Amino acid sequence: MSPMADKLHFSLVSPEKELFSGGVDSVTVPGSEGDFGVYPEHMPVMTAIRPGAISVMNEETERRIYIRGGFADVTSEGLTVLAEEAVELGDLDPAKLAQEITDAEEDVRDAETEEKREAATEQLEYLQALASAMKD
């Protein structure tokens, strides 16, 4: 048995770049029909991902990455997540994020057109989702 046999090969790819590729113990994915865990030798599945945090477990260490949406593909080779956008939650500064939320709330209030209000509201909801994922 190879040393990788007890590890899951996991790749996280966003439109900009490959964010992670390597062996991990497990990954919990926010699937469109609910969260699901992927472990080595998981059965093949492909599903849409709803916005939420992916939890990557390796050697007792958890790494949380907020995914704005995309697809998860589990094959005999491992798990690939194609994310529309991915943000490493550990890299976020809670104080800076709180200020960005305050600024976005002001942008929603001050929007002069419906189009600007919709864009500002979408940004505010995204920032609030990031803040919520950091607390989980």
- How many angstroms separate the CA atoms of 94 and 81, rounded? 26
Quick: pLDDT tens for 35-90: 999 999 899 999 999 999 999 999 999 999 999 989 999 999 999 999 999 999 99
Higher pLDDT, 135 or 49: 49
Residue 2 pLDDT level (bands cut at 50, 70, 90)? very low
The confidence score (pLDDT) of residue 5 equals 61
Average pLDDT (10-23) is: 93
> How high does pLDDT run on average in the chain?
92
